[in-house]
């Protein structure tokens, strides 16, 4: 079965729009394009054109870690966030600090996170981040006790509209002044959240009374 270039772009646009999560080239080939005999080169060309088509619009097509997804322009976040005033993201400072340290220092152990923060890391925080599939255990450090090594996941990158860790904001202060850096990394993680197509979540870990709004 043949499909024109215009029809191909329409099909890809619709598929990515209705999908629950990012769609990779392979996923597209295995599903909506399965019977259309579209080459990888032609598929990539159509996706590149779609990304250009949406560049000047309020919605952009981005290639994330797990595939392609439509997201709102980051510059529109201050206004779009008003749509969810009653469900604004609420992340505890402890959770943001823990997530930021894992993102920038991975792989890292829980003990190393505690050494940098100067306080213990709640088991509930690690559990919450793991259940949301934002972090995972990728191994164990070869020291007494063999503590777990934590790293971020593709789901973390997808949620914050990133295609790779290289897109994380620069953190010059992080290498020299960890204490001052925490506020900077918390802000970077929190600001990235509003760019996601998903509706903001309400933090369910209420063990830390210092919450960011």
pLDDT of res. 106: 93
Percentage of residues of the chain with pLDDT beyond 70 = 77
Question: What is the tens place of the pLDDT at every residue in 25-78?
Answer: 999 999 999 999 899 999 999 999 999 999 999 999 999 999 999 999 988 988
Contact 22, 69 (CB under 8 A): yes
As beta bridge partners, residue 70 has 61
Q: How far apart are CA 124 and CA 130, in angstroms?
A: 10
Position 3 confidence tier, pLDDT thresholds 50, 70, 90: very high
Tell me the Cα Rg of the chain.
20
Domains for the chain: give ranges and CATH numbers.
5-72 (1.10.10.10), 83-212 (1.10.10.10)
Return the axis-axis angle of helices 110-117 and 93-105, rounded to nearest 10°.
Answer: 120
pTM of the predicted model, to two decimals? 0.63
* CB-based contacts of 127, cutoff 8 Å, min separation 6: none
pLDDT of res. 172: 53
DSSP of 155-178, one letter per residue?
HHHHHTT-SSGGGSPP-GGGGT-H
Contact 114, 101 (CB under 8 A): no
* CB-based contacts of 183, cutoff 8 Å, min separation 6: none
């Amino acid at each position: 079965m043949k499909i024109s270039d215009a029809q191909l772009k329409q099909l890809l646009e619709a598929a990515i729009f209705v999908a629950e999560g990012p769609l990779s080239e392979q996923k597209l080939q295995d599903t909506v394009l399965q019977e259309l005999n579209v080459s990888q080169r032609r598929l990539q060309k159509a996706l590149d054109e779609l990304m250009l088509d949406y560049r000047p619009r309020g919605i952009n097509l981005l290639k994330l870690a797990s595939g392609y997804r439509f997201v709102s322009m980051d510059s529109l976040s201050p206004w779009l966030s008003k749509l969810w005033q009653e469900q604004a993201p609420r992340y505890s400072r402890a959770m943001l600090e823990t997530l930021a340290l894992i993102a920038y220092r991975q792989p890292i152990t829980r003990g190393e996170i505690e050494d940098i923060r100067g306080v213990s890391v709640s088991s509930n925080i690690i559990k919450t981040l793991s259940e949301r599939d934002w972090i995972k255990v990728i191994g164990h450090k070869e020291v007494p006790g063999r503590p777990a090594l934590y790293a971020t996941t593709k789901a973390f990158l997808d949620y914050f509209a990133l295609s790779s860790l290289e897109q994380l904001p620069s953190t010059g202060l992080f290498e020299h002044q960890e204490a001052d850096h925490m506020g900077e990394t918390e802000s970077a993680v929190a600001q990235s959240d509003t760019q996601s197509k998903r509706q903001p979540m309400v933090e369910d870990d209420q063990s830390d009374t210092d919450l960011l709004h």
